[in-house]
Structure 1
Amino acid sequence: MKMAISNPYKDQFHSLTKKLFPWTLYALLPIALLSLYLYPLPFLPSTESELPHSTSNIIISHSTPPSFASTPPSSEKENTFDTPSCDYFNGKWIRDRRGPLYNGTTCGTIKEGQNCIKHGRPDSGYLYWRWKPSECKLPRFEPKTFLELVENKHIAFVGDSMARNQLESLLCMLSTFSNPNLVYTSGDDNKFRRWHFDSHNATVSVYWSPFLVQGVEKSNEGPNHNKLYLDLVDERWAKDMDEMDYVVLSIGHWFLHPAVYFEGGLVLGCHYCVGLNHTEIGFYEVLRKALRTTLNSIIDRRGNKGSKIDVIVTTFSPAHFEGEWDKAGACPKTKPYRDREKELEGMDSEMRKIEIEEVEDAKVKGSEFGGVRFEALDVTKLALLRPDGHPGPYMYPFPFANGVQERVQNDCVHWCLPGPVDTWNEIFLEIMKKWEDHPRTQE
């Protein structure tokens, strides 16, 4: 039997290794951390990174159309909201270094009252947020893709000033790729307009119709209430229905005003009609009746003909007045609400609920006709969380040029352009892409 012979050099090596190994790790750790700081891992998305605390030194300059090289690669578009698990109604606003596709000086279609940059709004942080649904990604808007989908087609935005707000946002984003030509304008404040994109033979129109059904708007000379005919669609836009391939409907705020309601030629009741001998009824069911009449009219006029039409209903966009509308600081927020900081409730929730229910009902009715499709563009919650996105006093140019005034008119309803309303059209594009990937059941 041989005895094992100990190797003194080997033993010394093992002892030395045990002593040096921990110190080697301590030396390598800061090197690894420095490497990660200088060369971040490629799978960390830059769109969710935080901005510097101060944005006062950020300069927006898009004097030439921005490069689309920054558009997320196709791999980033996987699991978008057309997948069954995605609900773009639920999510949060996250920081976005890239900012908007356009600004107030490079787009000629923005209504003056929403051109916050041009009117001297001093902060720019509201431009650097984007909506992140909880279970999926909402891709950045792709003007080229949108125009390809609407080639040789006509999109009509129909409704109140929120419809116009969304329309002008869309035109501004599309103009970064192809210039729209204004080919028709009519009505006070250009309430009926039409543009043409020669590059794709695409037409975009806006029709002023704050109730969608027939109505007589109150005026300074006449009664201080509106008149609504709830069973008759507004022919100012409906007469052109046969020319439309996409219809985007947006209503809500005008239903809060005093009004007398008619149905079947008779007075149904009224809302806040002081001095009139009519039954007071709430505006919720009136909104439902008006929207149902509109959606049924589309089904009757287009579905029965077997023609194709796609209908989007943009849900109610909440206002953010804090106190009196004509007092300084009516909508003073400069950042979005955090998740759960502001809940959807009350009138905002009820208006959205009615619109969602009527769209779902129209889907069932329209399913009898393969060419008619409906979808709700559900923006109510994501709009609720953006109290910072309104013009406020900057609906007028440089409102504090002569010092801060106690009384100043504020707009806490519409949205600055660029601003949060651009997200409406990002979702609109995703709905269109979903429809393109899932053709109609009947052709």
Structure 2
Amino acid sequence: MLTNFLKTYQQLQNDKFLLPKRQFVTYGLYALIAVALLYLFVDPAPASSTKLSMKAPWIQEEELPPPSPPLPHQGDEKLRSAPAPSQVSAAAPPCDYSDGEWVPDPRPPPYNGTACDAIKDGRSCMANGRTDTDYIYWRWQPRLCDLPAFSPDAFLRWLHNKHMAFVGDSLARNQAESLMCLLSSWSPAELVHRDAESRFRRWVFHEYNATVSIFWSPFLVKGVEKSEHAGVRYNELFLDAFDERWMSQLGAIDAAVLSAGQWFQIPSIYHEGGRVVGCHGCAAEFNYTETSFFGVFRDVVGRTLAEVTRRREDSRGEQLVALTTFSPSHFEGEWNKGAPCTKKRPYKKGEKELGYTETEMRKIVVEAAANAGAAASSTLRFAAVDVTTLANQRPDGHPGPYMRKNPFAGGGRVQNDCLHWCMPGPVDTFNQLLLQTILR
């Protein structure tokens, strides 16, 4: 169109014709259109506009990493230089970390197992005389992706100005102690509270104003533990009453890690509404209705998460509730008769399948976390930290006889611990998964 116009205009000029008024207006409009087309297709956009639009067109704004959280007003160079936890993980694709296998890893452990003050004596296997250290040199390799190494820096940056509480039984305590050793390798912590039995402890990382606590609550709800030396052979659980030793502290807790399950297998009497409603393992002795501990565990976990949700309804802050799934034991026989755990290597993938108890206990926790998450508000997040499979494949990672110093020195039968975990050891991977749960 532009070429035809120019040819016509040139011919008119050569013939020295005078354009009538109507033709002049028409050709003037053609000229304006031509100029507009030239501007549209030829004139490049300014350089600054190009830089602003370099984002891929299929990426929506809500898919971009959120902005970094404000840093504290401290002169801490570690806080200033490291990337924000949200930026570290925002681009990572979803991954099923529970599906994988243990592979050899020659790297040294993430902390010194004889120097970390948080380790309970029974978990410090090397300090107690264990000489084989092969159990340290393995890492968990998911089948479809990689599990990032634990970053104490990223964890503490996320924990800045927060309080994390581990609630549950001795495996919850085992995981909490592992986390303290992992974090203390980066920043020192002060033990600010400890009860006589070390069942309730609290540390503060002053550099980050971060707090980690341990609350002993093996049933999550109110309960009275059996005491063999006092002649009490059964637990007593009050299914409609909560353990206020930790539940009353929810307002000051930003993240709770719950871990329970082993104590539910012990013979127990169940109370509800002021009366006995059943028992596990004691029906013949007391003429109570025999009740499956699976059903009781499911009921307790569900009620606990519902109560957490109810008590946090009016909270303005965000809270994470992570549930560590069932961690199997590896006793080769009856645990109370000195049964050992003699394996020196992890099981290979498919070599040791989960048993019925492990499968059901894991399933209860995973389903409870999913159900609670679907019903929770936007400020309350529930997630399962699925460790059951990876723990099931590590018969070599327990203290065994080295739950005490020099266990064979006195002769006689030696008690073995094939339930808890040496530190450092497989339990550190629990906290690798916890960190990824937090960042995702």
In structure 2, list runs of 5 or more residues that go unmatched: 1-77
The match for 1:256 is 265
The TM-score, its normalising length taken from structure 2, stands at: 0.77
Q: Distance in 2 between matches of 1:324 and 1:279?
A: 26
Contact 1:79 1:136 in 2 (8 A): no
Written as runs of structure 1 = structure 2, the 5 A alignment for 1:134-213 is 134-186=143-195, 188-213=196-221
Instruction: Give the number of equivalent residue pairs.
Output: 355
The DSSP-based 3-state class of the residue aligned with 1:190 is coil
Structure 2 letter corresponding to 1:93: W
Verify the 8 A CA contact 1:260 1:269 in the aligned structure 2.
yes
Tell me, in whole angstroms, the C-alpha distance in 1 between the residues paired with 2:118 and 2:302.
32
Q: How does 1:45-194 map to 2 (within 5 A)?
A: 83-84=93-94, 86-186=95-195, 188-194=196-202
Compare 328-337 and 339-348 and name the one that shifted more.
328-337
Q: In structure 2, what is the Cα distance between the partners aligned to 1:231 and 1:338?
A: 43
Deviation string 1:216-242 (CA, Å, 9 cap, x unpaired) is 112232531111111222101011100
Q: 1:102 to 1:180 in 2, by over 3 A?
A: same
**How far is the alpha carbon of 1:364 from its aligned partner?**
1.2
**Match 1:373 to one of 371, 381, 388:** 381
1:328: how far off? 6.4
Distance 1:221 1:244, change over 3 A: same
**Counterparts of 2:128 and 2:240 in 1: how far apart (Å)?**
42
Summarize deviations over 1:345-391 as a string: whole Å, max 9, x none: 3101111011111111101111xx11110000000000000000000
In the alignment, residue 205 of structure 1 is paired with which amino acid? S
| Amino acid in the other structure paired with 2:375 | K
Q: Contact (CA 8 Å) 1:392, 1:410: kept in 2 or not?
A: yes
Distance 1:304 1:362 in 2: 17
Q: CA separation of 1:139/1:80 partners in 2, compared to 1, >3 Å: closer, same or farther?
A: farther
- CA shift digits 1:98-153 (9 cap, x unpaired): 13111222201100011000011110000000001111111111111110010000
Structure-2 separation of matches of 1:177 and 1:305: 32
Structure 1 distance, partners of 2:201, 2:331, is 30
Equivalence for 1:425: 431
Residue 401 of structure 1, CA deviation:
3.4
CA contact (8 A) 2:237 2:271 kept: yes
Which has more radius of gyration? 2
> Which runs of structure 2 are paired with 1:409-420 in the superposition (5 Å)?
409-420=415-426
Shift of 1:422: 0.2
Distance of aligned partners of 1:82 and 1:217 in 2 relative to their CA distance in 1, 3 Å threshold: farther
State the Cα distance separating 1:266 from its structure 2 match. 2.4
Q: 1:346/1:311 Cα in 2 relative to 1: closer, same or farther (>3 Å)?
A: same
Task: Name the CA distance, whole Å, in 2 between partners of 1:415 and 1:189.
Answer: 19
Amino acid in the other structure paired with 1:256: Q
CA distance in 2, matches of 1:165, 1:350: 22
CA distance in 1, matches of 2:263, 2:202: 23
Q: Give the percent of matched residue pairs that are identical in Structure 1 and Structure 2.
A: 51
Change in Cα spacing, 1:236 to 1:79, as seen in structure 2 (3 Å) is closer
Displacement of 1:402: 5.6
Q: Distance in 2 between matches of 1:314 and 1:171?
A: 17
Alpha carbons of structure 1 residues 400 and 223: separation in structure 2 relative to 1, 3 Å: closer
Provide the secondary structure at the position in 2 that maps to 1:132. Answer: strand
- Pairwise CA distance, 1:189: 1.5
Q: Deviation digits for residues 232-264 of structure 1, max 9, x if unmatched?
A: 221010111000000000000000111111122
3-state SS, counterpart of residue 119 of structure 2: coil
Partner of 1:311: 321
Instruction: Indicate yes or no: 2:337 matched with 1:323.
Output: no
Residue 364 of structure 2 aligns to which amino acid in structure 1?
I
- RMSD in angstroms over aligned alpha carbons? 2.1
Q: 1:247 — aligned with what?
A: 256
Q: Aligned partners of 1:81 and 1:334: how far apart in 2?
A: 38
Separation in structure 1 between the aligned mates of residue 274 and residue 360 of structure 2, nearest angstrom: 28
Matched, 1:344 2:354: yes
Alignment of 1:216-295 (within 5 A): 216-219=224-227, 220-273=229-282, 274-295=284-305
CA contact (8 A) 2:128 2:406 kept: yes
> Cα deviation per residue 1:143-187 (whole Å; 9 max; x = unaligned)?
11110010000000000000000000000011111111000112x
What TM-score does the superposition give when structure 1 sets the normalisation length?
0.77
